[in-house]
Amino acid sequence: MLEIYLPIAQVNVDIFLLLFLSLSVGLLSGLFGVGGGFLMTPFLIFMGIPPVYAVPNEVNNILATSVSGSLTHWFKNTLDYKMGLLIVSGGVVGTILGITTFTYFSEIGKISLIISLLYMYLLAIVGTLMIIEGVKEVDQARKKVIIKKKLHEHNWFQGLPFRTRFPKSKLYESALTPILLGLVVGFVAAMMGIGGAFLMVPAMIYIVGMPVKLIPGTSLFVTIFISAIVTILHAFNYGSIDLTLVVPLILGSILGVQLGQKIGQYLDSSHLKTLFALLLCSVAIAIAYDSFFRDKSNEIANSKVVSSDLNIFAEFTLRFSNESPLLYGAFAIILAITLGALAAWMRKFMSPIVKKLLSDFRDKNKIKKEEVKFPEK
């Protein structure tokens, strides 16, 4: 157990537990293709980090993983930039509304309760829906039932004005549809510290009607901008971005996502979705217990460290955040983008090398087996 002090959040955390959790959540994200924010933020809160610090620092972490994933899709040319930018334009407004709401509940001292309630209901609803969907998939697979789904359901969104063409997605839709989607995603990201993919992906499929191959990349592209905006606003308004927390979060998450994506290539994760859904429901129950039943009367904020006891990095982080909050937020964004981009480039150039090494290893083993001759009787 090795504890580090977070100078902004003013709490001590176990660095190994932090790395393990970020690695595990990243692995689940890569394996199931879902964002890890709605799991990592509650885990940070369980570790003793106040919600007002857990939310923005997880958003900064999401920024790094989104850059890494988005660049991968950019290499494959599976992005709809026009659709993405329209969602971002709505996301800017939604983010400002979210920060305003966040500020209001912070001022009346209810922000921790509000965030806990939002996560409790979100995880319970998403987990329940995933369990229902998972049971249906298993039942259909057992009965070998094939259900044909319509690619694009018609709804009231098709009646909105300002229709425009999206050449990449081959759609003719109202520009207001992605803008409204971005409005909701930006608000949720600012309030809860999640990327919003769990909202964007279903909306892109069932409301917008985008081709499935363009959805992951476009969703990550949008998340980059919204996460950056949320990060800078939280850093400027509250000084709540803690680089001592952000760096291990990013390193663990990026590595976990890469591992999860690799494992997902060889593993049929459809049967594991129900277990993942049960995990979400368990976290929701844990949040409910922590919010309403756990005795917090003995909890004293005794983890504060005086300035003279801080290490060089912690002292630099605290001074930088207090003296230049806007510049500090920009630095946190640049750091996250840099680490995410490095991970994407390393994956792009290391993947062929790893594949070649594995191929050579298999060929050598095959040759050795063929050379083995058993003595004749």
Pair 125, 38: CB distance under 8 Å = no
Give 152 or 157, the one with higher predicted confidence.
157
* Of 76-85, 250-259, 269-278, the least confident: 269-278
Structural domain boundaries enclosing 171:
11-291+310-350
d(CA 223, CA 203): 15
Split into its structural domains, the chain has a count of 1
Give 272 or 332, the one with higher predicted confidence.
332
- Could you tell me whether strands 171-174 and 3-6 are parallel, antiparallel, or unpaired per DSSP bridges? unpaired
- Look at residues 204, 188, 255, 218 and name the one whose alpha carbon lies nearest to residue 41: 188
Q: Is residue 355 part of a domain?
A: no
Q: Is 252 exposed, middle or buried (0-12, 13-18, 19+ CB in 10 A)?
A: buried
* 3-class secondary structure, 173: strand
User: How long, in residues, is the chain?
Assistant: 377
Amino acid in the structure at residue 373: K
Q: Is residue 358 part of a domain?
A: no
**What are 119's two structure tokens?**
């996560």
Mean pLDDT of 259-263: 74
Mean pLDDT of 83-109: 88
What DSSP element (H or E) covers 164? strand 163-166
Q: Is residue 357 part of a domain?
A: no
Q: Is residue 52 part of a domain?
A: yes
Q: What are the pLDDT digits (tens) for 6-36?
A: 888 888 888 899 999 888 888 877 766 666 7
**Quick one: pLDDT band at residue 69, thresholds 50, 70, 90?**
confident
Q: What are the pLDDT digits (tens) for 153-182?
A: 555 566 667 788 888 878 788 888 888 988
* 3-class secondary structure, 194: coil
Q: Is residue 363 part of a domain?
A: no
Q: What is residue 155's predicted lDDT score, i.e. its pLDDT? A: 59
Give 249 or 305, the one with higher predicted confidence.
249
Q: Is residue 166 part of a domain?
A: yes
Whether the per-residue pLDDT at 42 is higher than 80: the answer is yes
Question: Average pLDDT over the chain, rounded to whole?
Answer: 77
Q: Is 112 exposed, middle or buried (0-12, 13-18, 19+ CB in 10 A)?
A: middle
Q: What are the pLDDT digits (tens) for 202-221?
A: 778 777 778 878 887 888 88
Q: Is residue 301 part of a domain?
A: no
Pair 283, 210: CB distance under 8 Å = no
| DSSP calls for 95-149 | HHHHHHHHHHHHHTT-HHHHHHHHHHHHHHHHHHHHHHHHHHHHHHHHHT-----
Supply the pTM of this predicted model. 0.76
Q: What is residue 301's predicted lDDT score, i.e. its pLDDT? A: 45
Q: Is residue 147 part of a domain?
A: yes
